[in-house]
Structure 1
């Protein structure tokens, strides 16, 4: 299946289970893979036959920067739901939300949540 990829969109959000995270905020990276048939858009060269990249970006920005969640899993689920609800062309979405430098002991670059949701399972 065809796909459109959004790689490492960076946002500032106030998500987390610890009070400091909700007060100070932190960076989050979002990657999206939108699966749907792009052949009509490829042939027509018409924006109406695909999704507007700017609209997808604004959707992700709104969720990460304006809403608050304790869990990164909740951010990913909200993104997947909003995209499937708002863009009927999209059959499936893969969402990856990365939290660099989480406030837990150890040496690593980041933690990330990745979920895949499909239209078939969305309205079940």
Structure 2
């Protein structure tokens, strides 16, 4: 299966378990990998047979900048459901949510989760 990568997307959201996260907000990053056949797009040079990267970004933005949730796992589930529900040519997707600078004493890099979901699950 062919792949489309949309990586390094950055958003501001109010997600988290702690009240400060919900009040102050923080940066989040997302990477998405789509498994989709790109053969017809490559042969015809026609975007109609691919997936528009801007549309994927917007699907992620709606979730990431939308209603606050406690867990980044929930964000990943919502994004994968949106992509699989909206882009019928996508057979499966992998969504990675990165939380830079998590509120963990002594931890200054990031935490992340990654899920893969397939059409029909």
Query: What's the TM-score once normalised by structure 1's chain length?
Result: 0.94
Please identify, of 105-114 and 77-86, the stretch whose mean Cα deviation from structure 2 is larger. Answer: 105-114
Superposed displacement of residue 95, structure 1: 0.2
Structure 2 counterpart of 1:67: 67
Task: Tell me if the contact between 2:34 and 2:90 (Cα under 8 Å) persists in the aligned partners.
Answer: yes
- In the alignment, the residues of structure 1 paired with residue 3 and residue 72 of structure 2 have an alpha-carbon distance, to the nearest angstrom, of 24
Task: Tell me if the contact between 2:69 and 2:75 (Cα under 8 Å) persists in the aligned partners.
Answer: yes
> What SS does structure 1 have at the residue aligned with 2:65?
helix
- In the alignment, the residues of structure 2 paired with residue 72 and residue 101 of structure 1 have an alpha-carbon distance, to the nearest angstrom, of 14
5+ residue gaps, structure 1, are none
| Aligned positions of 1:17-56 closer than 5 A | 17-56=17-56
1:4 aligns with 2:14: no
Structure 1 counterpart of 2:111: 111
Superposed displacement of residue 57, structure 1: 0.6
- In the alignment, the residues of structure 2 paired with residue 108 and residue 12 of structure 1 have an alpha-carbon distance, to the nearest angstrom, of 18
| Aligned positions of 1:73-112 closer than 5 A | 73-112=73-112
Q: Quote the RMSD (CA, aligned, Å).
A: 0.9
- In the alignment, the residues of structure 2 paired with residue 66 and residue 116 of structure 1 have an alpha-carbon distance, to the nearest angstrom, of 22
5+ residue gaps, structure 2, are none
1:14 aligns with 2:23: no
How many residue pairs match? The answer is: 121
- In the alignment, the residues of structure 2 paired with residue 113 and residue 87 of structure 1 have an alpha-carbon distance, to the nearest angstrom, of 23
